[in-house]
Amino acid sequence: MVIEAKSLSLPDHTQLPDSDGTFVKNFQEHPQSILLTDSILPHLQEIHPDGQYCIGQDSGIYWRLTEPPERGAEAPDWFYVPNVPPTLNGELRRSYVLWKELLAPLIVLEFVSGDGEEERDHTPYEGKFWIYENVIRPAYYGIYEVKKASVEVYQLVAGRYEKMSPNSRGHYPIEPMGVELGIWQGYYLNAELPWLRWWDLLGNLLLTGDERAKAESQRAETVEQENALLREQLRALGIDPETLR
């Protein structure tokens, strides 16, 4: 008797819930995610000219099948995965499904709302820290606490997370991305807070689109002021600046 083997079909991002129905924990989470994404995009476009990467913001990473399905997912506040297509079959992901994608995120960031116990929980198969370290296994795991104006960054070394030490600027180099991660005290989206931000490896802050536009406007204004002063100096010398064009 011949028994036909049935192919195993695991659910993909279109078949799994994209939310567990809970509210975000505070008003700062979404602005913080937007700030990280907005400022890193030009840099990622440089290191991924083919566009092969994706960013998740409060999106589920499915790591095991459970009932209900959402119990088998973690939803980091922000994560980045290199070398994957930005869309699947022409649509944005509803979630990131490890058994379909196969590639782990390079970095996962959690924004603490409580005392940080949840983000540091080592309980097997339940605690966030344990799941990230043993199953999802991003190369870097960051725990950001706005109330303490601090971020802890862990790097996966020989299968275990080691807490990183900051550099002389107080930042944490994320070498594969060519950036540093740290705390920036400043004003963003109507709030003065110690925000989590990116710098390049030389210590230059990666700017948002609005910040880049403002900086460009200030540069143009400075150039115009310098040109106006030069024109005045030429006229004082009896030289018509228009004749020099």
Domain span holding position 224:
207-245
The answer to whether residues 161 and 143 touch, using CB atoms and an 8 Å cutoff, is no
Same domain? 158 vs 222: no
Q: Are residues 184 and 242 in the same domain?
A: no
**Are residues 50 and 164 both part of a single domain?**
yes
- What does the pLDDT profile of the chain (245 residues) look like in tens digits? 443 434 457 777 665 555 555 545 667 889 999 999 999 999 999 999 999 999 999 999 999 999 998 899 999 999 999 999 999 999 999 999 999 999 999 999 999 989 999 999 999 999 999 999 999 999 999 999 999 999 999 999 999 999 999 999 999 999 999 999 999 999 998 899 999 999 999 999 999 999 998 887 787 878 878 877 878 887 887 787 777 76
Burial annotation 161-180 (CB, 10 A radius, 16+ → b, else e): beebebeeeebbbbeebebb
Predicted confidence at residue 3, as pLDDT, reads 39
Say yes or no: 202 and 213 in one domain. no
8 A C-beta contact, residue 16 and residue 62: yes
pTM: 0.85
Overall number of domains in the chain: 2
Q: Is residue 81, in this structure, part of any structural domain at all? A: yes
Q: What CATH number does residue 155 fall under?
A: 3.90.1570
* Domain annotation covers residue 162: yes
Q: Do 61 and 103 have their domain in common?
A: yes
Q: Show the CA angle centred on residue 35, arms to residues 30 and 37, nearest 5°.
A: 95
137 with 166, same domain: the answer is yes
